[in-house]
A = this chain, B = another copy of it.
Amino acid sequence: MEPGSRPSGPERPTVIISAAEVGRANRARIVQALADRGPLSRADLARITNVPRATIGSIVKSLLSSGWLEEGQPRPPADGIGKPGTPLWFGRHAGLSGAIHVQPRRVVTAVVNAAGDILSTHRHKIPARTSTEGVVSVILNAAAQEFHHDMDELTGIGLALPAAVDRQTGEVMACTPLPALVGSHLRQRLEDLTQVPTVVEEDVTTLALGQRWFGQARGVDDFAALQIGDGIGAAVMLGGHLLRSRVGLSEIGHTCVDLRGQKCTCGLIGCWETVASNNWLRHTARQLDITTSPKLTPHRLVRLATSGDKAAQGLADMYAINVAVGIANLVQFLALPVLVLHGDIVGGGEYLRSRVEQAVIARTFPAHVSGRVGQLEIQLAHNDADACLLGAAASVLSRTLHIHV
């Protein structure tokens, strides 16, 4: 092959690793190993990483002196033989992140440590129909109040937005619930205010990071977090890394599952969202003469179904199948063994979860589901309320620690 003209991809700069970066990367790995597995002694870490204890000792020493880790009370080994190891765990003020979760009607802020403890949190209302400046000032004020105590301790601030975010600049590209946020230079303004590095992420992305660092997917390298409600979003981790293109948006809710289906609000045909969103649920409920006084949600649907309403049971089954179709596509494509559900669908509880799981299994090859992989697990998020907040903190950790050497 002649070394002639080449296609000019948007080039990722080639990186040469220096000794100092090795140190940073190794410290980060120790931190992540602890986050994944809980408190461990130096000897435990040495076994896991397959390096001499002395090496771990020196890495840990720097983490201890910088305040990331603390030594616990020595604990005798399981078989009672040998010197007790000293468990290492995060200090209460280690790896502090500022977390901001912007929702359509309010802003929630928190300070979170590396162990995932929420040290403080507050809520702030966003007035309806507010200008860009109005929304931004609510967010900035919320940040100023929440963070002013620990401002110099914060390693970073994470911002979870219900919006499409440009990965390079952090700029909001599109935001249905709060259109005012588009082009608001939010990251820059937060950094100007706080002097703390700030990372802006789409909310569903933070869900995956939050589950990975602090939640049900701790230590799990291959899984997806899905948010299913008014719309559908997903973030996938594969090999411990988020799936994200250098540029452009992930719109799994607008992938086609129904060639000859309904036209979606986005203009395309047969999007997954056209058959598995709250809108579909309400529209179909009306067609089936299922009426609930407030707007129908998966939660209310399941209440009806479990109270014996046949039509509601039928609708719940259809909804489960429609949700499952998109999930099954994800599983067929990427062979993900774990999926964590967030959003309104969580209100459907075990009733809905089991039906979705069965439907996904029915729509995927057995190889992914049984055999060596173990069971395919579809889980409901345990902490759906705080998930984005923890996720925002997790994105700070990922940013600071994941030296992708």
* A residues in contact (CB < 8 Å) with B: 1, 3-4, 6-19, 22, 25-26, 29-30, 32-33, 36-39, 45, 48-51, 55-56, 59, 89, 115-117, 173, 214, 216-222, 238-241, 243-252, 254-261, 266, 268-270, 275, 322, 325, 328-329, 332-338, 363-365, 367-368, 372-374, 405
Task: State in angstroms the CA–CA spacing of A86 and B115 once bound together.
Answer: 52
- CB pair B1–A116 under 8 Å, yes or no, is yes
Please give, as numbers and ranges, the residues of chain B lying within 8 Å of A56 by CB-CB distance.
16
Q: Which 8 A-B pairs have the closest CB atoms?
A: A248-B335, A1-B116, A9-B220, A3-B38, A245-B335, A255-B329, A258-B259, A14-B33
- CB pair A372–B7 under 8 Å, yes or no, is no
- CB pair A336–B245 under 8 Å, yes or no, is yes
A-B contact pairs, 21 of them (CB 8 A): A1-B116, A6-B37, A10-B337, A13-B49, A14-B33, A14-B45, A16-B56, A25-B405, A221-B246, A245-B335, A245-B336, A248-B337, A248-B373, A250-B333, A251-B365, A252-B333, A255-B329, A256-B325, A256-B329, A259-B270, A268-B363
Contact with A6, one of B1, B218, B247 (Cβ below 8 angstroms): B218
Please give, as numbers and ranges, the residues of chain B lying within 8 Å of A325 by CB-CB distance.
256, 259
Task: State in angstroms the CA–CA spacing of A56 and B14 once bound together.
Answer: 12
- CB pair A14–B32 under 8 Å, yes or no, is yes
Q: A214-B1, A251-B333 are in contact. Are A222 and B239 (CB under 8 A)?
A: no
**Distance of A30 from chain B, by nearest CB (Å):** 8
- CB pair B26–A16 under 8 Å, yes or no, is yes
CB closest chain-B residue, reference A39: B3
Please give, as numbers and ranges, the residues of chain B lying within 8 Å of A7 by CB-CB distance.
216-220, 338
- CB pair A257–B254 under 8 Å, yes or no, is no
Task: State in angstroms the CA–CA spacing of A337 and B248 once bound together.
Answer: 9
- CB pair A1–B115 under 8 Å, yes or no, is yes
Q: What is the count of identical protomers in the complex?
A: 2
- CB pair A249–B368 under 8 Å, yes or no, is yes
**Distance of A401 from chain B, by nearest CB (Å):** 13
Please give, as numbers and ranges, the residues of chain B lying within 8 Å of A241 by CB-CB distance.
239, 241
- CB pair A248–B115 under 8 Å, yes or no, is no
Contact with A13, one of B12, B48, B116, B257 (Cβ below 8 angstroms): B48
Other A-B pairs, 5, CB within 8 Å; known A13-B48, A249-B365, A254-B332 = A1-B116, A3-B89, A11-B221, A222-B245, A247-B335
Please give, as numbers and ranges, the residues of chain B lying within 8 Å of A322 by CB-CB distance.
259
Most chain B CB within 10 A, of A3, A22, A338, is at: A3
Most chain B CB within 10 A, of A16, A89, A328, A374, is at: A16
**Distance of A36 from chain B, by nearest CB (Å):** 7
**Distance of A244 from chain B, by nearest CB (Å):** 7
Please give, as numbers and ranges, the residues of chain B lying within 8 Å of A329 by CB-CB distance.
255-256, 329
Task: State in angstroms the CA–CA spacing of A366 and B265 once bound together.
Answer: 15
Please give, as numbers and ranges, the residues of chain B lying within 8 Å of A220 by CB-CB distance.
7, 9
Contact with A17, one of B9, B243, B367, B405 (Cβ below 8 angstroms): B405
**Distance of A151 from chain B, by nearest CB (Å):** 23
CB closest chain-B residue, reference A45: B14
Task: State in angstroms the CA–CA spacing of A299 and B276 once bound together.
Answer: 39
